[in-house]
Amino acid sequence: MSKLVSCVAIVVLASLASAQDTSALRPPKGAQIALVVFEDLQCPKCRQDAPLVKQAAETYKIPVVHHDFPLPMHNWSYEAAIMARYFDSQSKPMGVEFREYIFQHQPEITPQTLRAFAERFASDHRTTLPFVVDPQGKLAAEVNADRDLGKRVGIEHTPTIYVVSAKSQKPFVEVKDTSQLFQTIDAVKNE
């Protein structure tokens, strides 16, 4: 009997451990629908899908919530995410522009050239990039928090794009095929 109870307890604990925390998959305050994107700035598919996400947001006039999910196999994405957070701290639009800029130049960037690209971006936007971008580690903590959130949500790949809604029947839908992004937004809007 005790073996049976132990087995049941293990199965229950395993299912709880693999349960996803989807509480973060909701639109920002005041929005009915939004796009939530978990991305890696070094991911070629993220680069490919970024213009489509931007176009969808502009077409539907909905916000995009970016979450950093740097993958361990990419050798400069974590540092780029920290830099993006720095530019976010200057202004949210500047942070978004930096992400677009990094995606645009992604094939040219290496760990050795990332800083030069970021400095060029800063200069073009009449700001400076400090010698030490994150001296207290606050920006890294934000990137880590996003990555941890992605793990709790169950992110398995980048990009992972969700159409999220303030409606309670179906609060989020993962867009598994980006060619269906606009149709998915329409379906969520019409629910």
Model confidence pLDDT, tens digit, residues 98-149: 999 999 999 999 999 999 999 999 999 999 999 999 999 999 999 999 999 9
The predicted pLDDT at position 24 comes to: 76
The residue with tokens 């995009």 is: 64
Largest CA distance in the chain: 71
Q: Report pTM.
A: 0.85
Produce one character per residue of 52-61: b if its CB has 16 or more CB atoms within 10 Å, e if not: bbbebbeebe
Q: What is the pLDDT of residues 18-32, one digit of tens each?
A: 457 777 788 999 999
Query: Would the pLDDT of 50 be above 90?
Result: yes
- 3-state secondary structure (DSSP) of residue 129: coil
Give the tens place of pLDDT for each residue, 138-191: 999 999 999 999 999 999 999 999 999 998 677 899 999 999 999 999 999 988
**Mean pLDDT along residues 70-86:** 97
Domain locations in the chain as residue ranges: 21-189
Three-state DSSP at 115 gives helix
Q: In sequence order, which ranges of the chain are alpha helices (DSSP H)?
A: 2-17, 44-60, 77-90, 92-105, 114-124, 138-153, 181-189
Angular region, 30: left φ>0, alpha ψ -120 to 50, beta rest: left
Q: pLDDT at position 168, please?
A: 61
- Pick one of 3.20.20.70, 2.30.38.10, 3.40.30.10, 3.30.450.40 as the CATH number of 21-189: 3.40.30.10
From the list 69, 96, 59, the residue with the least C-alpha distance to 154 is 69
